[in-house]
Amino acid sequence: MTFETDILSVFDKKWALLTAGNKGSFNTMTVSWGGMGTIWGKPVATVYVRTSRYTHEFMDREDYFTVSFFPEDYKKILGVLGSKSGRDMDKMNESGLIAKELKQSVTFEEAEVTLVCKKLFMQRLEPANIIDPNSAKFYEGDAPHDMYIGEIVDIIRKPQKASEQGDELFMEEP
Ligand SMILES: Cc1cc2nc3c(=O)[nH]c(=O)nc-3n(C[C@H](O)[C@H](O)[C@H](O)COP(=O)(O)O)c2cc1C
């Protein structure tokens, strides 16, 4: 299987896990807002994390984060990881996902593609600065989002099974 998808809908339709920390201490949560592009001459991924999320503490503490994309059949698990907080549940135990330690961060054995990101920038999306009234409604009685831009320093692809390879070049995980 290849990671071919419409770049404008990859977060919205596929969802992802945003993870920060190391194997001894990390947290992960589901995200569907985000983007990929270029800034300051670097390939980047951008994510938006409400200040109330447990993951926010890890995003502030760590220099790196990962954005991991999963096959469609993991959507139910992503739904759970996006509705309960790591403050209240053991996310790894209950999801059954297997954490995989990287040099700078953590991803999961089951992820088909992981973006390893080095934090470049963060800024609050000040609700008072939101021009569109419909978008401002997201903050009525809810915490603001902080935006984190990370340089994509590595893209890890899960090795394909021989049966899935087809004619394509087989890319081994680095
Ligand atoms: C499909 C989906 C997408 C989500 N996208 C975001 C997002 O982009 N940013 C955000 O702050 N929360 C998002 N959430 C909510 C968090 O994943 C959720 O609050 C989670 O329980 C936070 O976990 P934590 O407290 O362990 O960090 C999303 C939830 C779902 C189900």
Quote the Cα angle for 172-38-147, to 5°: 100
Q: Do 106 and 29 touch, CB atoms closer than 8 A?
A: no
Domains: count for the chain: 1
Number of helices (H), then strands (E), belonging to the chain: the values are 4, 9
70 found inside a domain: yes
Pocket mutation for ligand 1, best pick of 13, 31, 92 (most atoms within 8 Å of C-beta): 31
Task: Quote the CA–CA distance of 174 and 155 in Å, as a whole number.
Answer: 9
Three-state DSSP class for residue 111? coil
Tens digit of each residue's pLDDT (9 = 90 or more) over 38-83: 999 999 999 999 999 999 999 999 999 999 999 999 999 999 999 9
pLDDT of amino acid 10: 87
Nearest CA to ligand 1 atom 7: 31
2 found inside a domain: no
46 found inside a domain: yes
Pocket mutation for ligand 1, best pick of 13, 15, 18, 30 (most atoms within 8 Å of C-beta): 30
| Type of residue numbered 1 | M
Residue 82 CA to ligand 1 centre (angstroms): 4
Q: Do 146 and 121 touch, CB atoms closer than 8 A?
A: no
Ligand 1 atom nearest the C-alpha of 34 is 8
174 found inside a domain: no
4 found inside a domain: no
Query: In this structure, what CATH number is given to the domain that contains residue 108?
Result: 2.30.110.10
Nearest CA to ligand 1 atom 10: 49
Tens digit of each residue's pLDDT (9 = 90 or more) over 131-167: 999 999 999 999 999 999 999 999 999 887 766 555 4
Domain that holds residue 24: 10-164
Q: Which residues line ligand 1 (CB under 6 A)?
A: 15, 27, 29-33, 48-50, 53-55, 79, 82-87
150 found inside a domain: yes
Q: Tokens 């995980």 appear where? A: 173
Give 8's pLDDT tier (boundaries 50, 70, 90): confident
